[in-house]
């Protein structure tokens, strides 16, 4: 996959079996919270921060039909593109790969300014 080739910084997050068993895992990688989901399309990694009020609420969101819905105000985002279907803005998605039974997530070298504290 070409997108993976742009990332040399993949981090192991959990075993594939653990993700499949729990379907939702939150981990911190280099001080960044990462929400990992097991969906009908496979593993998805995203920043759990909803762009509405910039709070970490998506880790409690409902997942259905390839979308995640923020429990606070009902904004819904595509897990494939990150774009809002209900609401506005987009969520940050990360590249995921499975290597020898381990789920790995690639983090870009730089965060956008709005994500930095």
* Confidence check: pLDDT of 63 > 70: yes
pLDDT band for position 2 (cuts 50, 70, 90): very low
Q: How far apart are CA 51 and CA 103, in angstroms?
A: 26
> Is 78 within 8 Å of 89 (Cβ atoms)?
no
Q: How far apart are CA 77 and CA 86, in angstroms?
A: 7
Structure tokens at 63: 């997942």
Structural domains of the chain sorted by starting position, each given as residue range(s) with its CATH number in brackets: 2-108 (2.102.10.10)
What's the pLDDT at 8?
58
By CB atoms closer than 10 A (0-12, 13-18, 19+), residue 19 is: buried
pLDDT tens-digit series, residues 9-29: 899 999 999 999 999 999 999
């Amino acid at each position: 996959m070409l997108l993976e080739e742009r990332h040399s910084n993949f981090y192991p997050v959990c075993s594939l079996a653990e993700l499949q068993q729990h379907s939702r895992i939150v981990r911190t990688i280099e001080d960044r919270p990462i929400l990992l989901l097991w969906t009908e399309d496979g593993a998805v990694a995203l920043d759990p921060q909803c762009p509405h009020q910039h709070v970490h609420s998506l880790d409690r969101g409902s997942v259905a039909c390839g979308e995640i819905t923020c429990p606070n105000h009902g904004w819904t985002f595509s897990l494939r593109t990150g774009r809002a279907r209900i609401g506005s803005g987009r969520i940050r998605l990360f590249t995921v790969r499975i290597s020898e039974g381990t789920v790995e997530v690639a983090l870009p070298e730089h965060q956008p300014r709005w994500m930095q504290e």
